[in-house]
Amino acid sequence: MIVYILCFVLFLTGLYGVITRRNLIKIAISLSIMEFSCFLFLALLGYTKGGEVPIVDPADPVKIYVDPLPQAMVLTAIVIGLATTAMLMAVIIRIYRKYGTFDIREIKNLRG
Partner 1 sequence: MNPLIPLFVAVPLAGAFLIMILGRFIPFLNRYLAAAVLLFLAFISFWSLIAGGDAASVYKMGGWGLSGGIPIGIYLVYDGFSALVLCIISFIGLMSVIYSMTYMHHYTSRNNFYALFCLMTAGMNGIVLSGDLFNIFVFLEISSISAYALVAFGVGRKELEATLKYQVLGVLASFIILFAIGFIYWKTRTLNIADIRAAFSEGHEKSFYLLVQLMLLTGFGLKAAIIPFHAWLPDAHSSAPSPISAMLSGVLIKAAGIYVIIRLFFNMFEITEGMATVITTLGVISMVLGTFLAIGQWDIKRLLAYSSISQMGYVIMSVGIGMLLTARGIKSDVAALAITGGIFHMLNHAAFKGLLFLNAGAIEYSVGTRDLREMGGLAKSMPVTSATSFVASLSISGIPPFNGFFSKLIIIIAAVMGHFYLLAALAALVSIITLAYFMKFQRYAFYNGNTGKTLKEIKEVPGPMLLSMIILAVACLLLSTLALPAIRDAVLTPATDILMDQMKYSLQITGM
Partner 2 sequence: MTIIVKKTTQLIAGIIFLYGIYIVLHGHLTPGGGFAGGIILAGSFILVILAYGSDFLNLVRKESGSTIYENLAILVFLFLALSGLLVGAKVFFTNWLPHGTPGELVSAGLLPLYNIFVGIEVAASILTIFLALVIFKEEVLK
Residues that bind partner 1 (CB under 8 A): 11, 15, 18, 24, 27, 31, 34-35, 38, 41-42, 45, 69-70, 73, 76-77, 80, 83-84, 87-88, 91-92, 94-95, 98-99, 107-110, 112
Q: Please select the residue that binds partner 2; options are 1, 2, 5, 55, rule is CB under 8 A.
A: 55
Residue among 60 and 67 whose Cβ is closer to partner 1: 67
Closest CA to 91 of 36, 25, 20, 32: 25
Distance CA 108, CA 94 (A): 16
Q: Does 89 bind partner 2 (CB under 8 A)?
A: yes
CB of 96 to partner 2, least distance (A): 7
- Given a contact cutoff of 8 angstroms between Cβ atoms, the answer to whether 50 and 64 are in contact is yes
- Given a contact cutoff of 8 angstroms between Cβ atoms, the answer to whether 81 and 73 are in contact is no
